[in-house]
Amino acid sequence: MRERGSDTRFAIRDTRLAICHLPLAIRHPPSAIRRSFSSILIAAVAGALFLRTGNLKYDRVSHACMELGVLFGAISLATGMIWARPVWNTWWTWEARLTSFLILWLVYVAYMMLRMSARDDPGVARIAAVFTFVGAADVPFIILAPRLWRGLHPVLFGTNAGGEFTFNMTQPMVAALGVSITAVMLVYFYLLVQRTRLAGLSSRVAELREQYGD
């Protein structure tokens, strides 16, 4: 049986891990889930613009978003399981939010596998763009899952007994979560810009090689 001091240390550790996990997911709607959500939504918009205009710069943005989606989604799932083990006494459970988020991550993986099968094929790029729409359609289910289906995930946003909006968290936790979300967001967009720029340079090098030969 754990002592009270030990329980306090475990609670502090779990809270810190949750604050890290949430920003990564946003890829969870608050934070971990958020970066994943950002990836799929930006990728879907860029994919739609690519299908409409045929401009490869939009395809590069969409591709970069999906790559980052795989990365941040995997981190979100891993930190979520580490956090869930001591708190929920299980590594994984097939509840609605976890399952729908896993589906989103598998969409990311399927997209990358398709793109890797034919890197420079415009037809494959157009087919892959459709995958972003499938992933984006999954986002509302992930967000609304705790409200629609009873599961282990809590409802973070709601109203208190007086009808006022609340985060269902203490002020220090809200502040820490805000800093965490901002930090992960800055890292995410930095990686997105750099990855898109690298893809553009690679495309330019390929054009020069084709024009002047190897």
| Lowest-confidence region among 81-90, 161-170, 178-187 | 161-170
- Residues 112, 119: Cα–Cα separation, whole Å: 10
Cα Dmax for the chain: 73
pLDDT digit string, tens, across residues 15-35: 444 444 455 444 344 455 566
Reduce the secondary structure of the chain to three states and give it as a string.
CCCHHHHHHHHHHHHHHHHHHHHHHECCCCCHHHHHHHHHHHHHHHHHHHHHHCCHHHHHHHHHHHHHHHHHHHHHHHHHHHHHHHHHCCCCCCCHHHHHHHHHHHHHHHHHHHHHHCCCCHHHHHHHHHHHHHHHHHHHHHHHHHHHCCCCCCCCCEECCCCCEECCCCHHHHHHHHHHHHHHHHHHHHHHHHHHHHHHHHHHHHHHHHHHCC
Q: Count CA atoms within 13 Å of residue 129 on its CB side.
A: 23
The better pLDDT of the pair 111, 84 is held by: 111
Q: What is the pLDDT of residue 169?
A: 66
The better pLDDT of the pair 108, 206 is held by: 108
> Taking residues 188-198, what's their average pLDDT?
93
The better pLDDT of the pair 192, 23 is held by: 192
Distances (CA, A) of 157 to 22, 33, 34, 66, 210: 14, 15, 14, 28, 54
Percent of the chain with pLDDT over 70: 74
Q: Does 157 have pLDDT greater than 90?
A: no
What pTM was computed for the model?
0.78
Residue 59 makes CB contacts below 8 A (sequence gap 6+) with 46, 47, 50, 125, 129
Instruction: Assess contact for 21 and 83: CB atoms under 8 A.
Output: yes
pLDDT confidence band for 127 (50 / 70 / 90): very high
> Taking residues 1-12, what's their average pLDDT?
43
Q: Count CA atoms within 13 Å of residue 166 on its CB side.
A: 11
| Lowest-confidence region among 6-10, 114-118, 132-136, 209-213 | 6-10
The better pLDDT of the pair 178, 166 is held by: 178
pLDDT confidence band for 212 (50 / 70 / 90): confident
Q: What is the pLDDT of residue 63?
A: 95
